[in-house]
A and B are shown apart, each in its own frame.
Chain A
Amino acid sequence: MQDAILAMLAKEPSHGYDLGLRLRRALGPMGGSMNAGQVYVTLARLEKAGLVVGERAEGLPAKPDRKVYALTQAGQERVAAWLTEVDWPKPDLVEFHLKLAAASASRLADPVELVGAQRRELMRRLHETQRAVLAEPEGSTGGLLLEGAALRLEADLRWLEACERVWIKESK
């Protein structure tokens, strides 16, 4: 969630309250499980890490949701790096989904291109996995784990196809 919040701040500084709303909207039905405090805790951590600065708006009470947060230079660099990295350590659907939403909202990157880069990366992994599967004799226990890895990559690739279809329409 840290990276998604940073990316949402890339377009313009924002209140914690607005950020929470936008996150929930981006997550759709899955956003219901997010609790409001999480955003403020995350913002506090980001501020401590020097990635955002919070400024109290004048004339308002000193409550955390009255602070306007903006990216620092270090924060901007981190957003740029996050948007273009194609790591898929464990397929984190929520993070990738938020990345696409944030890229689109901030106009820092084209979501369709992010999907394409991710797909190329996963196809290369599937290439290696599939060749390893075929190097095993049919029906061996040794091949089972590889088979599982290939099936997961295949599922992720199908989801990326769905992402591409929707974001192509969104960006038209």
Chain B
Amino acid sequence: MNVLQVRGLAKRHGREQTLVRAVDGVDLDVPAGQTLAVMGPSGCGKSTLLHLLGGLERPSDGQVWLDGQRLDNAGERALARLRRRAVGFVFQSFHLVEELSAAENVELPILLAGGSPRTARRRAQLLLEQVGLAHRARQLPWKLSGGERQRVAVARALANEPLVVLADEPTGNLDTAATNEVLRLFGQLRAQGQTLVMVTHDGRVAATADRLISMRDGMFVEDTWLAS
């Protein structure tokens, strides 16, 4: 069963002389439980690809199915609902709400998806335990280290039990120790069968995935199975 299925996906910006083919006709199948890394130099289109997979941007061409549902031509409301429930995003610069505590940051997407405050509180507590930050639940983000902040962001991404976690340079702002914290957490998620797609330019981060796609100029140039 493919969680994500993509055919002929393209995203173009500008026109004629200034035409940029950020994503230039890619096909992709991501089966449930797979961890996939997309690697390439900056400007190769990997972040745009991730946005298209998660319905943050609309493609110029091609189709995206998330759990069998078309994303590319879904209406705004349906798309917003899918994004909230089926996809968890992790960004390079964490994107935590600075005014809210770690726990409140994790509760937020549950409340937005219609969960009760009580459900949200319980689930947030559980998730913060899972990422090893139960003791930091009441802290504001600025009191946390970079690695801790990104682990809170991962807990938030998992809040609504997404079908897929999409991570955009998740370790781009982290030192080696914090990078390893986040990668260990991804390893736990993999063991639990969480589908994960991350884009990165860092070979050591990409190497932790089961499967590696190399991207250049908007196209896939290589698709390698790394796990033995």
Contact = CB atoms under 8 A, between A and B. Distances in A.
A13 interface: no
A126 B208 CA distance: 8
A133 B205 CA distance: 12
Interface in B156-208: 177, 180-181, 183-184, 187, 203-204, 206-208
Interface in A99-113: none
Nearest to A128: B228
A94 interface: no
Given A134-B184, A134-B187, A127 B203 contact: no
Given A128-B228, A134-B208, A138-B180, A123 B203 contact: yes
Contact of A154 (B183, B203, B226): B203
Contacts of B203: 123, 126, 154, 157-158
Contacts of B208: 127, 130-131, 134
A129 B207 CA distance: 9
Interface in A112-134: 116, 120, 123-124, 126-131, 133-134
B18 interface: no
A114 B108 CA distance: 50
Interface residues of A, number: 18
A120 B177 contact: no
Question: Interface on chain A toward B: helix, strand, loop, or mixed SS?
Answer: helix
A127 B207 contact: yes
A3 to B, nearest CB: 26
Contact of A123 (B181, B187, B212, B228): B212
20 contacts: A123-B203, A123-B206, A123-B226, A126-B204, A127-B207, A127-B208, A127-B227, A128-B228, A130-B183, A130-B207, A131-B187, A131-B208, A134-B180, A134-B183, A134-B187, A138-B177, A138-B180, A138-B181, A154-B204, A157-B203
Given A123-B206, A138-B181, 17 more contacts: A123-B203, A124-B224, A124-B226, A124-B228, A126-B203, A126-B204, A126-B207, A127-B208, A127-B227, A128-B228, A130-B208, A131-B187, A134-B180, A134-B184, A154-B203, A154-B204, A158-B203
Interface of B: 177, 180-181, 183-184, 187, 203-204, 206-209, 212, 222, 224, 226-228
